[in-house]
Amino acid sequence: MKFTIQSKVPNSLARAGIIETPHGIIETPAFIPVGTKATVKAVPTDLIKDKVGADAVLANTYHLYLQPGDKIIKKAGGLGKFMNWSGPTFTDSGGFQAFSLGTVKGRGKKIADRNDQLSMINDQESQGEIDSESMMAKIDDNGVTFKSVIDGSEHRFTPERSIEIQHNIGADLIFAFDECATPGADYDYQKKAVERTRLWAERCLIKHKSYKDQIALLGIVQGGRHEDLRRQSAKDIGEMKLPSGESFDGFGIGGSFDKDDIGTAVKWVNEVLPENKPRHLLGIGEPIDLILGVANGVDTFDCVAPTRLARTGAAYVYPSENFLDADGNKKGRINLLNSEFKEDFGPLDPSCSCDTCKNYSRAYLAHLFRAKEMLGATLVSVHNLYFLVNLVKKLRQAIIEGKFEEEKEKLLKDFAS
């Protein structure tokens, strides 16, 4: 993997660049659609490239390990061939899911995104609903033992096992195994998780260097909302190098974030990490988060929100006079199941150029969801993904043209209205 910075914003962490991989380039900053189980839900792979315009997809190590199994994917020729995707691919380490799905009480719950899942864990902690007997995951200094969300069978991930599984899956960019502490964890536990993440990162590097392939390994930074822990973790992971010379090819920023954290915790990390390597913000994808993330030095993002929301009839829209709430405020998201759209024959979002907006009305899309037709989820998923992918592309272009600050302020004002 090679990363080249094309343009930087003066007095800012924002930058535009290119990540070169064996399966193509990723123009950064970029939003990466999530294909959890080797599929971006409801969207065929040809639409991801041709209609959404995404450069890469990210799959989930935990879920692919459980089903169909990493050895089957390796036998198929790797993740890209298995899912008929010719572009660059990412896989996460599987650690977040092993920890969080094991901790959340009630494994059948639908969680919108990483922040929602961590918030649920936090709520359960504060209410005393989590105890060692009810947890499906057990964490120790060597790894995590967990039960499958499919059949309850017991499994174990260690740093070495995570790297082995990810190499079998064969993505272009993979992540080191880390501990993502829950939001309610106190300072002492966050500090312990940072140290555990550091030790596991070194073990991941050692295991990774035993493979003679072109896969790039990204280290993970943790530390919660504590500036000293975030900066220390970024320093540890950013400077980590084995005696033989191997270091991380890029970095992932993990943890739970709200709007304020993008300008604090993310900024602290990116002020410390090496400038010449790409940075990925894990599990973040709301429009304002993307804008703030780019402003604070993030190169790539991933999030399940656009497709998960789409399957419920929720669509991102550009805030305008076309979409007002009961108080007359501009909205950045609409629910197509609302009665107001039954006879609304206008395009989903007049300002959007995706195929869904060019060819289908809100009334038709509302009909699909009311009739429980699968096509509705596909059409709105294409729109939501296109919306986020191209929002970040707009920011990238503004950086290259020297107009980033102006574009950022305009977008923040629009989406905050």
- What is 347-369 written as a DSSP string? BS-TT--SHHHHH-BHHHHHHHH
Residue 387 counted as domain residue: yes
Which residues are within 8 A (CB) of 396 and not within 5 positions of it... i.e. 6 or more apart?
Answer: 16, 27, 28, 29, 30, 294
Q: Is 261 a catalytic residue?
A: no
Q: Is residue 21 part of a domain?
A: no
For residue 216, tell me if it sits in a domain. yes
- Asked if 298 and 323 sit in the same domain, the reply is no
Whether residues 290 and 317 share a domain: the answer is: no
Residues ≥6 apart with Cβ < 8 Å to 75: none
Where in the sequence is the domain holding 374, given as residue range(s)?
A: 310-416
Which of 55, 261, 302, 349 is an active site residue? Answer: 302
Q: Mark whether 92 is an active-site residue.
A: yes
Residue 331 near residue 319 (C-beta atoms within 8 A): yes
CATH assignment of the domain containing 158 = 3.20.20.105
Strands 314-316 and 57-59, sheet pairing: unpaired
pLDDT score at 62:
96
Give domain status of residue 86, yes or no: yes
What is the number of H-type helices and E-type strands within the chain?
17, 16
**In terms of domains, do 122 and 266 share one?**
yes
Other CB atoms within 10 Å distance of the CB of residue 49: 16
SS3 of residue 251 by DSSP: strand
| Whether 112 and 239 share a structural domain | yes
158, 177 in Cβ contact below 8 A? yes
Among 303, 329, 355, the domain boundary falls at 303
Do 284 and 334 sit in the same domain of this protein? no
- Cβ atoms of 305 and 48 closer than 8 Å: no
pLDDT in 10s for each residue of the chain, 417 residues: 999 999 999 999 999 999 999 999 999 999 999 999 999 999 999 999 999 999 999 999 999 999 999 999 999 999 999 999 999 999 999 988 888 776 533 333 333 345 554 444 444 444 444 344 445 788 999 999 999 989 989 999 999 999 999 999 999 999 999 998 876 789 999 999 999 999 999 999 999 999 989 999 999 999 999 999 999 999 999 999 999 999 999 999 998 777 788 999 999 999 999 999 999 999 999 999 999 999 999 999 999 999 999 999 999 999 999 899 888 899 999 999 999 999 999 999 999 999 999 999 999 999 999 999 999 999 999 999 999 999 999 999 999 999 999 999 999 999 986
Pair 166, 100 in one domain: yes
By C-alpha distance, which of 194, 254, 197 is closest to 205?
A: 197
Q: Which of 303, 325, 349 is the last residue of a domain?
A: 303
52 and 188 in a common domain: yes
13 in a domain, yes or no?
no
- Give the pairing type, strands 250-253 and 279-281: parallel
88 within some domain? yes
Which ranges of 174-333 does DSSP label H, i.e. alpha helix? 187-208, 227-239, 259-263, 265-272, 287-295, 305-310
Res 386: pLDDT:
98
Assigned domain for 7 exists: no
Both tokens of 47, joined, read: 């639409």
Q: Which of 272, 287, 303 is the last residue of a domain?
A: 303
Report the 3 state secondary structure along 117-179: HHHHHHHHHHCCCCCCCCCCEEEECCEEEEECCCCCCEEEECHHHHHHHHHHHCCCEEECCCC
Based on the fold, state whether residues 271 and 314 are members of the same structural domain: no
Q: How far apart are CA 171 and CA 218, in angstroms?
A: 12
Residues 168, 76 contacting (CB under 8 angstroms): no
pLDDT of residue 416: 86
Task: Mark whether 216 and 315 lie in a shared domain.
Answer: no
Q: Which residue in 70, 92, 178, 249 is the catalytic one?
A: 92
Are residue 292 and residue 321 in the same domain, yes or no?
Answer: no
Count up the domains in the chain and report the number.
2
- Please answer whether residues 407 and 46 qualify as being in contact, where contact means their C-beta atoms are separated by less than 8 angstroms: no
Q: Is 213 in the same domain as 237?
A: yes
Together in a domain, 275 and 360: no
Closest CA to 97 of 118, 78, 74: 118
Look at residue 194 and tell me if it is in a domain: yes
